[in-house]
Structure 1
Amino acid sequence: MKPVSDLRDQVGESPVWSPEEQALWWVDIDGQWLRRHHPATDRTQSWATPERTGCIALHAQGGLIAAMETGLWRLQPQDDGRLDAALVAPVGHARDHMRFNDGRTDRQGRFWAGTMVRDMSLASDAGALYRWDERGLVKVLDGLITPNGLGFSPDGRTMYLSDSHPSVQKVWAFDLDDEGTPRNRRLFIDFNEHPGRPDGAAVDAEGGYWICANDAGLVHRFTPDGRLDRSIAVPVAKPAMCAFGGAALDTLYVTSIRPASPPPEQAALAGALFVDCPGARGLPEAPCKA
């Protein structure tokens, strides 16, 4: 696994492949950057964001939908470096100093994102999972500390969600009905039995669940029945989220976090965007329709 460029993020998150542009979008949450990389030209562009952005998704009408601190925003990046940003759905957080964290669209084009208290040391369960579609922004699950690991099975009938806080470290599976209501919550992976904490995830074309093992420098692949299939090493301790991209969707991109004091042997690479070809193929991300 190798770095894509010399660029380093504070908290690299939410990689999303755009088939139309043949480019990868992602964010640096704490650095407040939106980024895009074109592999064909090896060019990376960056746009400053008005707030911390936890996650993004492609939008069916162009541009992006982004879950930030105060709610959901429509983003229209311009080639001259300007970012046109408009708040479309404010969120009423349960307490102060919260923001959105991990999120993505499901197979039907509904956008899902979780919220968290920024200070993880508080272990506050004020976080919640929201769904955004033509009916508006709706809270569908609460009692979360650090929601992460959102993913959807190839048929869209199963939703995966983790809580990556050290006191939880579990991934759950839910049945997802046609209306987007998650039901039948059940334990999918107990990460206390595996290296690392469960961070951002992606699902491949065979239903395999790929999840970054934060603090362990690994990306794990689990089979649809929850068995660990294999692990891929990342040359930094804190991989954050993964996504499939490339023309054939057979390239795995992995964002990472740069801690305040990375180990000396990782200082040059912490915060990098990494790329690998793991021998699996992903699925195109549905654009947000709302």
Structure 2
Amino acid sequence: MMRAERVEGHGQAPATVGESPVWRATEQALYWVDIPARKIVRLQVETAVRSEWILPEKVACITFGRDGKVLAGCESGLFAVTLPEVDVDAGADAAGKSVHAPVNALVRKLAAPVFAAPDMRFNDGRCDRQGRFWAGTIVQDMAAAVPAGALYRFDERGVLSAPIVEALIVQNGLAWSPDGSTMYLSDSHPLRRLVWAFDYDIDEGQPHNRRVFADLHRHGGRPDGAAIDVDGCYWICANDAGLVLRFTPDGTLDRQIEVPAIKPAMCAFGGRELDTLFVTSIRPGVGATEHDGHLFAVRPGVQGCAEAEYAGAL
């Protein structure tokens, strides 16, 4: 079994909840978020320079617009985010990695749903192949197991849809097949642990024919964030199992990668050839190890699909 390795140095502070890795090819950099810390993080992989931006509220998922701005799913809604240039050098960490002092991001609210319950926020989100942004909501107290979460579409006109998939507890696992005709969605809650596949109407941006694609009760862990490779295989982080699992388009489990952190959260392909799988992780409140909450990478021998950018104006 292949094993992912730490990317940051041992002196790098871990994330509490590392999520939503996005590869930015124009910068040769990986972006991700730390949800409770309200941070967007960037690592320029080849130079090992790390930068951070602070948002006014929890940020859970991000994608880039074609103008270089960020579209973010946060606590109270969807925001356009401008990341100012980071030019204050704070030196290096204990492993010699360059670190810059955090700066405040500039945000503007674009849209907000009518949340179905108190204490909700956005969670996992990404664009379909046509550049529509999809994101789901959750009740932040996961232990309460409230099925009030829903999946929304934010189209290129800047219109937020009504709930399209409802009764989710912990929405996760969004991904689209290389041709965009299949949409994947998971529910990470211990009571669910399912990944669904949908036929996806590319022209209308509408999923239908929902069916179970993978049941992680059979494989271990909880299905968290996901990525797609060029062969149409679905890579899903098995949270609580320290694994990333690859399922073929027919739902067969054919690959497993070990992650030193027990709670891998989301994966994304990056690197110059899109042949590196990056994995973010969560640091548990009890029993955390030196690896939990850090970023990992592995070359699994396949290429990933480039993620689409948001097609509208930000």
TM-score normalized by the length of structure 2: 0.90
Counterparts of 1:1-290 in structure 2, within 5 Å, are 1-5=4-8, 6-80=12-86, 81-133=103-155, 134=157, 136-138=159-161, 139-177=163-201, 178-263=203-288, 267-290=289-312
Gap regions ≥5 residues in structure 1: none
Q: State how far apart, in whole Å, the 2-side matches of 1:120 and 1:75 are.
A: 27
CA apart distance, 1:3: 1.5
Deviation at 1:135, TM superposition (A): 5.7
SS of equivalent residue, structure 1 residue 136: coil
Deviations 1:194-250 (A, max 9, x none): 111100000001101000000000000000000001100000110000000001000
C-alpha distance in structure 2 between counterparts of 1:90 and 1:103, whole Å: 14
Q: Which has the larger displacement, 49-58 or 243-252?
A: 49-58
Q: Percent identity?
A: 53
Distance (whole Å) between structure 1 residues aligned to residue 58 and residue 35 of structure 2: 5
CA RMSD of aligned residues (A): 0.9
Where has structure 1 moved over 4 Å in runs of 4 or more?
Answer: none
Residues 71-114 of structure 1, C-alpha deviations (whole Å, 9 max, x = no match): 10011111132311111112211111000011111100010001
Q: Give how far 1:261 is off.
A: 1.6
- Could you tell me which runs of 5 or more consecutive residues in structure 2 were left unpaired when the two chains were aligned: 87-102
8 Å Cα contact 1:262/1:270 also seen in 2: no
User: Per the alignment, in what secondary structure is the counterpart of residue 60 of structure 1?
Assistant: coil
**Secondary structure of 2:59's aligned partner:** coil
Q: Following the alignment from structure 1 to structure 2, what is the Cα–Cα distance between the partners of residues 135 and 113?
A: 14
Q: What SS class does the counterpart of residue 164 from structure 2 fall into?
A: strand
**In structure 2, what is the Cα distance between the partners aligned to 1:4 and 1:84?**
28
Q: Which stretch of the first structure deviates more once superposed, 88-97 or 163-172? A: 88-97
Give the Cα–Cα distance (whole angstroms) in 1 for the partners of residues 108 and 311 of structure 2.
Answer: 16
User: Highest CA radius of gyration, 1 or 2?
Assistant: 2
